[in-house]
Amino acid sequence: MFGYISINKAEMKFKDYDVYHSYYCGLCKVLKECYGRRGQVTLSFDMTFLVILLTGLYEPDTKTEMVRCIAHPMQKHAAKTNEFTEYAAAINMLLSYYKCEDDWADEHRKKAFVAAKLLHSKIKKIEKLYPVKCKVISENLAQISKYETENEQNLDLMSGLFGNIMAEIFAYRHDEWESSLRKIGFFLGKFIYLMDAYDDVEKDIKSGSYNPFRKAYLDDPAFADDCRSLLTLMMSECSREFEQLPILLHAEILRNVLYSGVWSRYTAVTSERLAGKNTHNAADTADGNSTAGRTTNDNPHPDTDNSTTGDQEQ
């Protein structure tokens, strides 16, 4: 469930992209410093958004450094870090670890098992730093896993559990903004869960894995539009709460994500499915025309019984 809370680069100003990228690089830098290479590979857009949101709201002292990295070895680039970067890095590690555990439990992926083992020692340190958040995350993930095993089809229930996780993650402080941050996290979490299910539904059907959209995908001709409406509702609630916050710093970057960037994957998946369906229909049409042609031309003697050949072609 990573990577859905990203920017729409095509709709972003160059200067805003540079700022966004500097926070992304800052998170990457802190992941490496605190958790090594293993931590660095867990880098995600989702936690970059959290850093920028909390930075925009609380406007903490932020350090900007010019650094090099594996991705950009020849040229230095800006990396912004503040108190929220380390927090987001820790949460990023937690979510990555639990995802590896989930992948191993559900699909017995050996890579996930190895990754979870490698991250385990780091997670113990994080659990001591953020015991309440770790408890909320692990309990809700356990509930999700339990209901998936029971093949629970209640979308509101399933997405709400992941919403609870994100609500706890976004509530960084107990202050006047906590309620709004929790609501933003909650509806964003529901969006992520539903978007992940929409993204994976074809793969899950083939593998036999749990997916709450399975029946709707197979039976509902308006599946994509219905999902769009449901996802729009989640983001409408999330964005409405965001607009209640007194955020001026990085506001345009945050709006780019909430109003445009989050839809990038939906648009890509829907387009791919539509293209695949059109290709399949075109192939069926071409095959039907070809068969019709053979039925007419393969029997030059109309009076001869060709029913056996016809049955074989069918």
The pLDDT value recorded for residue 297 is: 42
Residue among 80, 92, 106 nearest 209 (CA) = 106
Evaluate whether 257 touches 184 at the Cβ level (below 8 Å).
no
Cβ-based neighbour number of residue 127 at 10 Å: 16
Residue 278, pLDDT > 80, answer no
Amino acid at 107: E
Strands (E), the chain: 63-67, 77-81
What mean pLDDT do residues 279-304 have? 49
Q: Return contacts of 270-278, CB within 8 angstroms, 24+ apart.
A: 270/224, 270/228, 273/202, 273/224, 274/224
Instruction: Map tokens 């969006």 to a residue.
Output: 191
Residue among 174, 300, 283, 195 nearest 238 (CA) = 195
> Residue 144, Cα to own-chain centre: how many angstroms?
16
Tokens of residue 239, six digits: 């964005």
Domain boundaries, the chain: 9-274
Residue 1, pLDDT > 70, answer no
Q: What is the pLDDT of residues 286-297, one digit of tens each?
A: 555 554 444 444
Rg of the chain (C-alpha set): 25
Instruction: Tell me the pLDDT band of 41, cut-offs 50, 70 and 90.
Output: confident
Q: What is the 3-state secondary structure (H, E, C) of 178-213?
A: HHHHHHHHHHHHHHHHHHHHHHHHHHHHHHCCCCCC
Q: What is the pLDDT of residues 173-213, one digit of tens each?
A: 999 999 999 999 999 999 999 999 999 999 999 999 999 99
Give the CATH number of domain 9-274; options: 3.10.180.10, 1.10.600.10, 3.40.47.10, 3.30.450.20.
Answer: 1.10.600.10
Evaluate whether 48 touches 257 at the Cβ level (below 8 Å).
no
Give the chain's length.
314
The pLDDT value recorded for residue 299 is: 43
Phi, psi (deg, nearest 5) at residue 302: -55, -25
Sign of the Cα torsion 135, 136, 137, 138 reads: positive
The pLDDT value recorded for residue 74 is: 76
Q: What is the mean pLDDT of the chain?
A: 86
Instruction: Tell me the pLDDT band of 309, cut-offs 50, 70 and 90.
Output: very low
Residue 285, pLDDT > 60, answer no
Amino acid at 11: E
The pLDDT value recorded for residue 113 is: 54
- If one compares 105 and 61, the residue with the highest pLDDT of the two is 61
SS3 (DSSP) at 80:
strand
SS3 (DSSP) at 74:
coil
The pLDDT value recorded for residue 314 is: 35
pTM of the entire predicted model: 0.84
- Which of 89-93, 119-123, 241-245 has the lowest average pLDDT? 119-123
How far separated are the first and last CA of the chain, in Å rounded?
Answer: 44
What mean pLDDT do residues 48-57 have? 98
The pLDDT value recorded for residue 103 is: 64
| In the chain, % of residues over pLDDT 90 | 67
Instruction: Tell me the pLDDT band of 107, cut-offs 50, 70 and 90.
Output: low
Q: What is the pLDDT of residues 55-78, one digit of tens each?
A: 999 999 999 999 887 777 778 889
